[in-house]
Amino acid sequence: MSQLSPGDFTALASGIYLEGLAVDHERGVIWYSDVVGGGIHAVKPDGTPVGVLDPERMWTGGIMINADGAILSSGQGGVRWNNPETGASGWLIDTLDGKPVNGINEMYPDGEGGMFFGTLDIESVIAARPARPTEIWHLTRDGHTIRLAEGLRFTNGIGYNPSLAQFYCSETFGQALAWDVTPSFELTNRRVLLDRDDCDGLALDAEDAIWIPGVYSPGIIRRVTPTARELPPVPTPPGATTQVRFGGADGRDIYITLVPADAGECLRTGRPLSGTSTLQRGRSTVPGVKIEATCFDLA
């Protein structure tokens, strides 16, 4: 595998509309979804294909790793789990407040074995209608679901910095938002982190900065401090970045999913997608935060 310099990228895989990145540090693979083409795909850091889970399932926006090695994937109907070693699978979440789940987008660990997640009006996305308001929830390690915030326009990338007790959410078509987090995981003091209406996936680096790609911001990922000060952006290959994750022994490998610059607008309006989406590997001058595994009992 060739060593890249900061700012360099190399394509590892391609598809129709890639998203849902997760770095599987134990297996040494990168998982990603094809929102429109379907499936949860895995490749090695050099691009060697490893396998595909749920190949027919579309609209997966988030992927995480559970401590037992199972892969959690969000999307229409909720969050599924698949164990690549045993072939077992099932639903982690398919109801909220006793009602079937419309959709779930991105997820992030809570540091105690559970996770945060955002809902998504996938029915309206598929029909190219304006999405109904969405929510942020907390799923505890022992399976309790708690609504944390509601009335958001379109929950997308989320992140949690426990050292600062801050929670972040890219509210696509709205703004990137921040909250303070209480010891009982309540969200308080909502405020604007980045005043742009195209914020997509989200990642955190070791300097506490938040990396925020934009579906209408081709060629860059914005980097913002927890106090909402913009830092110099991170350049990317042509196209719009939908998700970013960090990996590698030093935490400085960057994995991003790129879609054509007009792909977000095509999905929003129902126009046919143009071009090809790619998974890319690059290098960063600053290490990223390693995303912990959740610890759900999936037996």
DSSP the chain: -PPPPTT-EEEEEEESSEEEEEEETTTTEEEEEETTT--EEEE-TT--EEEEESTT------EEEBTTSPEEE-EETSEEEE-TTT--EEEEESEETTEE--EEEEEEE-SSS-EEEEE--HHHHHTT-PPPPEEEEEE-TTS-EEEEEEEES-EEEEEEETTTTEEEEEETTS-EEEEEE-TT--EEEEEEEE--S-B---EEBTTS-EEEEBTT-TTEEEEE-TTSPEEEEEE-SSSEEEEEEEESTTS-EEEEEEE-TTHHHHHHHTPPP-S-EEEEEEE-SSPBPPPPPB-----
- Per-residue pLDDT at 68: 96
Ranges in the chain, pLDDT < 70:
1-2, 263-264, 266-267, 274
Map out the domains of the chain as residue ranges.
9-283
Block residue for tokens 């696509």: 172
Q: Specify the pLDDT at position 1.
A: 57
CATH topology of domain 9-283: Neuraminidase (2.120.10)
pLDDT at 26: 93
Task: Write down the pLDDT at residue 244.
Answer: 97
Kindly report, residue by residue over 146-169, the tens digit of the pLDDT. Answer: 999 999 999 999 999 999 999 999
pLDDT at 271: 75
For the stretch 213-258, pLDDT in tens is: 987 778 999 999 999 999 999 999 999 999 999 999 999 999 999 9
